[in-house]
Amino acid sequence: MPKANRRSRARPGTLRTGPAASDDVGYVFPSQPDQGETDAHEREIQAPVSGWHSPDGDDMHALVKDVMTAEVIAVGPDASYADMAGLLRQHRVSGFPVVDGDGIVVGVISESDLLVVQAAPRPRKKRVSPEELTAADLMTCPAVTIGPDEQVRRAARLMYSRKVRRLPVVDHPGRLVGILTRTDVLSVFTRPDEEIRREITQDVIAYGFFTDPERLTVIVNNGIVTLAGEPGSVILGLNIAEQVRHVEGVVAVRDRFTYPGA
C-alpha cells in the first residue's frame, strides 16, 4: 500500500482500518470506483472555469481525480486528541478529514487545530485538558471540499480563496474518495514551455481552428502565453485566446493580436 497522502492513481479497494483500529478512529479510505476591463490589444486571461477537448478526444485539462491521493488518512468525530496527534506524526501529514460512520466528510482537522489547544490561553473556570477533546470539538466545519471530476485549476482557486492547504475529494453524496494537496495542484503547472507552445500551435491553432500557425506568434514564458500577429478576424482571435487558456500548464494568456480596424 502506498504511503498515506502521497499521490497515487485512483483505484478501487476495500476499507481498511488504520493504526488506531481498536478505537475506530483512524482509517485509510481507498478511493471508490467511479464515482476590471482590459485593452483589446493586451488582454490577460487567467485560469479557466471549464475545459475543452482536443480533436482526437483527449482531455486537455487535468481533473482532480487525475492528481489526487486515492488513499486517505481520516478520523471519526470521536477520535481523541492523542489519537489524532499520533496519526499526524506517524503518517507525516499536516491534517486529515473527519468522517461520520457512512464515510461522509463532516470536517477537517489540521495540526494547527491541535497546536492551538496547547498555545491558546483558557479561562480558569473552563479549563479542558487535551485528553478530553475529540475531533468533533476541534475540527473546522463545514469542510471545504471538491469533486473528483472538477478541474485542478478550480481547486487551485478554491485553495487560494479559502486559504486551505488541502481539499477532501468527495462524491455526490459527500463520501470521501480522496485528498488533494497544494503539491498535487502545483504538479499540473510544471509543464515545459516548449511543450505548451507545441500544443498551442498544433492542436489549438492548426487543428482546432484550421489556421496556419505561421501567421501568428506564440511565446510561452513560465506558463504565460503571449499571442501576437493577425488572426484575420476579431472572432477568430478571441476564440483562439479563449481556447489557449484551457491548455494544461497555461497560467495566463496575453492577447496582443492585431485586429482589423484597430
pLDDT band at residue 118 under the 50/70/90 scheme: confident
Query: Kind of pairing, strands 224-229 and 252-257?
Result: parallel
What would the mean pLDDT of 224-242 be, rounded to a whole number?
94
Write out pLDDT tens, residues 6-52: 333 332 222 333 333 333 446 665 544 333 333 333 344 443 333 33
Q: Is the pLDDT of residue 179 over 80?
A: yes
pLDDT band at residue 180 under the 50/70/90 scheme: very high
CA pair distance 1, 212, nearest whole angstrom: 49
pTM over 0.85: no
Candidate from 114-118, 166-170, 206-210 with smallest mean pLDDT:
114-118
Angle in degrees, 0-180, between the axes of helices 111-119 and 81-91, rounded to the nearest 10? 130
Phi-psi region of 103 (alpha: psi -120 to 50; beta: other; left: phi over 0): left
pLDDT of residue 61: 66
Nearest to 31 by CA among 103, 136, 138, 84: 103
CA pair distance 11, 123, nearest whole angstrom: 48
Candidate from 124-133, 165-174, 209-218 with smallest mean pLDDT:
124-133
Structural domains of the chain ordered from first start? 16-35+49-188 (3.10.580.10), 193-257 (3.30.70)
pLDDT of residue 56: 35
Beta strands per DSSP E along the chain: 16-17, 26-29, 43-45, 72-75, 95-99, 105-110, 166-170, 176-181, 216-221, 224-229, 252-257
**Percent of the chain whose predicted confidence (pLDDT) is above 90:** 50
Write out pLDDT tens, residues 184-194: 888 777 789 99
